[in-house]
Amino acid sequence: MEAQVKLTKLSSCAGCGAKVGAGTLSRLLGDLPTHADPNLLVGFDRSDDASVYRVSDELALVQTVDFFPPIVDDPFTFGQIAATNALSDVYAMGGEPKLALNLLCVPEKMPQSAVKGILAGGYSKVFEAGAIITGGHSIFDEVPKYGLSVTGFVHPDRFFKNLGAREGDVLFLTKPLGTGILTTAEKAEMLELGEIDRAITIMTTLNRGARDCAVCYRVHACTDVTGFSLMGHMLEMMQGSDVSARVETGAIDFLPRVLEFANMGLLPAGVYRNRAFAEPYVDEENLPLPVRDALFDPQTSGGLLLAVDPKDADAMERDLKASVPSAQRIGTVLAKGDKSIYLI
């Protein structure tokens, strides 16, 4: 009989918390040469979620890749989370995923059943998304990693950018926050049996519902909230849009016990990386420290952050409530101020 594998014991930083910091990344990419191509609508000169390339006046290709080390112990669940997260970048552009390629790194000694489990989890979510896995590549590596490169389609005039938010826009978030903190508490064995389940449900919920809803309204900017945290991703959106945001922290939905664990210092290291990057641009008021910390929590497979025309906000809120795990109306976009984000 094969030994039970505890996947998270094989990795030091989990899920999107393993992401290279936003500041480091832009320094690394700064000097690389890029071709100019009028059909490249979104490239890596901008920190968007995926690249978009116009094929015709009616069709653009959306491409993205995402992979990370295990955030949970169960192989099937890990595969589901990694796939949900990889597909999310296509949804964040307002697109529909069509094709996907597996990226898999596994230790030579990992039981075959675990490897199969990871892949089966990935397949299940790609299937649910209506896309097809057409191949992939696997190598041996001490720390397991899984993810996918996903290709999708979008209309070249109607994709979502992570910038373009306008003064007066209403900000929505479509999943509760705190998956980084809860998985850290799980690693510390502080959770009761079954308490991680809600976080797993959130991490394995496709952002398709949010995307399908959002494309019916005037969305000026959209991104998915992942490793850089709500604050990091919102900061990119606000700076790119040359505006500021006012965020009502009381309207933010944290997963159960997240603030309790934040208060106990059960915070992933990514919280401090994200804070170091975004803190100078965030006015944190005198809010309780656990709330402020949780806003910098790296999310794995988080929800969409949307800036929506105020005329559409009420209708979209009603619509979102029926189609996403947690429809939160978290703030408004202001004219550019001294800070990029004002928490209240």
Partner 1 sequence: MNMDIVDARGLLCPEPVVLTQRAIKNGTAALTVLVDAVAARENVTRFAASRGYAVSVSEQNGEFKLELSKK
Residue 11 CB, shortest distance to partner 1, in Å, is 10
One residue of 143, 191, 264, 317 binding partner 1 per CB under 8 A: 264
**Chosen residue from 64, 77, 149, 184 binding partner 1 by CB under 8 A:** 184
Q: What is the nearest approach in angstroms of partner 1 to the Cβ of residue 89?
A: 27
Min dist CB 147 to partner 1, Å, is: 22
User: What is the greatest pairwise CA distance in the chain?
Assistant: 63
Q: Which stretch binds partner 1 (CB under 8 A): 40-48, 61-69, 229-237, 268-276?
A: 268-276
Measured from the CB atom, the residue of 142 and 314 that comes closer to partner 1 is 142
38 vs 40: CA distance, rounded Å: 6
Task: Tell which one of 265, 285, 314, 335 touches partner 1 (CB under 8 A).
Answer: 265
Total residues contacting partner 1 (rule CB under 8 A)? 19
CA 104, CA 88: separation in Å to the nearest integer? 18
Closest CA to 66 of 34, 93, 100: 100
Q: Pattern 62-81, binding to partner 1, x per CB under 8 A?
A: --------------------
* 3-state DSSP assignment of residue 49: coil
Amino acid identity, position 237:
M
Q: Chain centroid to CA 80: how far?
A: 14
Verify whether residue 16 is a known catalytic residue: yes
Taking CB under 8 A as the rule, does residue 267 contact partner 1? Answer: yes
User: Measured from the CB of residue 278, what is the shortest distance to partner 1 in angstroms?
Assistant: 16
Stretch that binds partner 1, among 1-9, 67-75, 112-120, 182-190 (CB under 8 A): 182-190
Distance (Å, rounded) from C-alpha 123 to C-alpha 118? 9
Q: Please identify which residue in 13, 65, 133, 143 interacts with partner 1, judged by CB under 8 A.
A: 13
Segment near partner 1 (CB under 8 A); pick from 80-88, 133-141, 257-265, 312-320: 257-265
SS3 per residue for 54-119: ECCCCCEEEEEEEEECCCCCCHHHHHHHHHHHHHHHHHHCCCEEEEEEEEEEECCCCCHHHHHHHH
Angle, CA of 316, 50 and 174, to the nearest 5°: 30
User: Taking CB under 8 A as the rule, does residue 239 contact partner 1?
Assistant: no
Residue 40 structure tokens: 């490249």
If we measure between CA atoms, which residue out of 69, 73, 293 comes closest to residue 200?
73
Among 13, 16, 216, 222, the active-site one is 16
Following DSSP, what letter does each residue of 200-260 receive, concatenated? HHHHTS-THHHHHHHTTS-EEEEEE--TTHHHHHHHHHHHHHTEEEEE-GGG--BPTTHHH
Residue numbers 271-300 binding partner 1 by CB under 8 A: 271-272, 289, 293
266 binds partner 1 (CB under 8 A): yes
263 binds partner 1 (CB under 8 A): yes
Q: How far is the CB of 233 from partner 1 (least distance, A)?
A: 20
Q: Is 246 in the site for partner 1 (CB under 8 A)?
A: no
143 belongs to the binding site for partner 1 (CB under 8 A): no
According to the binding rule CB under 8 A, does residue 189 interact with partner 1?
yes
219 strand-pairing partners: 308
Helices 75-92 & 112-128 angle (0-180, nearest 10): 30
Q: To which residue do tokens 């990091």 refer?
A: 232
Enzyme catalytic residues: 16
Q: By the criterion CB under 8 A, which residues form the site for partner 1?
A: 12-13, 184-185, 187-189, 262-269, 271-272, 289, 293
